Amino acid sequence: MTHPSSRKVALVTGASSGIGAVYADRLAARGYDLILVARRADRLEALCAQVSKAHGIQAEPVTADLTQDEDLARIETILSTRADLRVLVNNAGIARLGPVAQRSAGDALSQITLNVTALTRLTQAVVPAFIARNDGVIINIASVLGIHALPISAVYSGTKAFVMQYSRGLQEELAGTGVKVQLVLPASTATEIWDLSGVPLAALNKDALMTTEHMVDAALAGWDQGEAVTWPSVADATLWEKYEAARSALFAATQVGTPAPRYWVG
Ligand SMILES: NC(=O)C1=CN([C@@H]2O[C@H](COP(=O)(O)OP(=O)(O)OC[C@H]3O[C@@H](n4cnc5c(N)ncnc54)[C@H](OP(=O)(O)O)[C@@H]3O)[C@@H](O)[C@H]2O)C=CC1
Ligand SMILES: N[C@@H](C=O)C(=O)O
């Protein structure tokens, strides 16, 4: 299935609420036709109608549970065959927060299945097509918890650390091509994810909570500035440069082939 057209299409996962819904609106405002993916069909249909009317673009709702193999396969087919696709926003994600001993293995696996497996499969589906066209943008939504583990976020932080390293590796792989990967690491943002996670939104420090509009507009400003990695809430950009410098130095220090003197025995 190909759709030869001068129009450009963005596919946004998790577009039925929160951050994904704002991405849909902002990409429509930039002239993208949309394919909006999530489970709640009513919400997707309402958003498609709203953004089509507001921005004069075409928006198609695609109902899919990205933890289900057949649904995921349908989205993979769209990503690998639509010639007009220019942007994939890997946004769908869940959090199930709490100590490992107090949450179920099912809670852990549901986060891994959506935040890691689905994101990986969708990216895998689109990358060859983007490379063939030497054009395309993948926006991967991680989290500041990808570099920071709380006693309640071992699994969630692990999934977002995966998104971070996967995106960084892809950026290396695709360097010099027309295919770009933007890694976005939001801090706490006011969405439904919190109440569903087990940590009520009302329990969060309001001063540290961003609106979805501010988060997405900052991330898109980062995209416009050509950023590979965007920290929407971090004012001092040198912190990321220092983090990267420390990470690189630590990695270089591992490449010596002998145990460190403090581990010498005998
Ligand atoms: N809010 C925050 O503080 C932060 C959020 N993030 C990340 O931002 C992303 C968006 O989350 P946010 O907007 O906050 O949360 P929301 O709960 O508002 O949105 C999550 C979206 O994912 C969709 N989704 C959930 N499960 C599935 C599924 N099985 N299949 C398909 N779609 C699914 C939901 O739609 P539906 O239920 O209709 O399927 C919804 O559209 C996530 O990756 C999250 O980890 C990162 C840092 C901070
Ligand atoms: N989604 C939030 C946690 O549940 C976050 O990433 O901060």
Sign of the C-alpha dihedral computed for residues 226, 84, 34 and 71 taken in this order: negative
**What local confidence, expressed as pLDDT, does residue 242 receive?**
98
Which strands, in side-by-side order, build the sheet including 136-141?
59-63, 33-38, 9-13, 85-90, 136-141, 179-184, 229-230
CA-nearest residue for atom 4, ligand 2, is 95
CA-nearest residue for atom 2, ligand 2, is 188
**What local confidence, expressed as pLDDT, does residue 266 receive?**
78
**Residues labelled as active-site residues:** 156
- Residue among 150, 153, 185, 205 to mutate when testing ligand 2 (max atoms within 8 A of CB): 153
Low-confidence stretches of the chain (pLDDT beneath 70): 1-5
Rounded to the nearest whole angstrom, what is the distance from the C-alpha of residue 154 to the centroid of ligand 2?
12
Rounded to the nearest whole angstrom, what is the distance from the C-alpha of residue 156 to the centroid of ligand 1?
12
Q: What percent of the chain has pLDDT over 70?
A: 98
Q: Give the ipTM of the model, two decimals please.
A: 0.99
**What local confidence, expressed as pLDDT, does residue 1 receive?**
44
Tens-place pLDDT, residues 61-102: 999 999 999 999 999 999 999 999 999 999 999 999 999 999
CA-nearest residue for atom 40, ligand 1, is 14
**What local confidence, expressed as pLDDT, does residue 6 receive?**
76
Rounded to the nearest whole angstrom, what is the distance from the C-alpha of residue 14 to the centroid of ligand 1?
5
**What local confidence, expressed as pLDDT, does residue 86 receive?**
98
* Pocket, ligand 1, Cβ cutoff 6 A: 14-20, 38-40, 43, 64-67, 91-95, 114, 141, 143, 186, 188-189, 191-193
CA–CA dist 116, 161 (Å, integer): 10
CA–CA dist 123, 195 (Å, integer): 28
Tokens of 62: 């695609």
Atom of ligand 1 nearest to the CA of 188: 3
Let me know the angle formed at the C-alpha of 51 by 48 and 54, rounded to the nearest 5 degrees: 145
CA distance readout (Å), 52 to 26, 61, 89: 12, 12, 18
Q: What is the CATH number of domain 9-235?
A: 3.40.50.720
Name the pTM for this structure: 0.97
Rounded to the nearest whole angstrom, what is the distance from the C-alpha of residue 144 to the centroid of ligand 1?
15
**What local confidence, expressed as pLDDT, does residue 5 receive?**
57
Atom of ligand 1 nearest to the CA of 92: 22
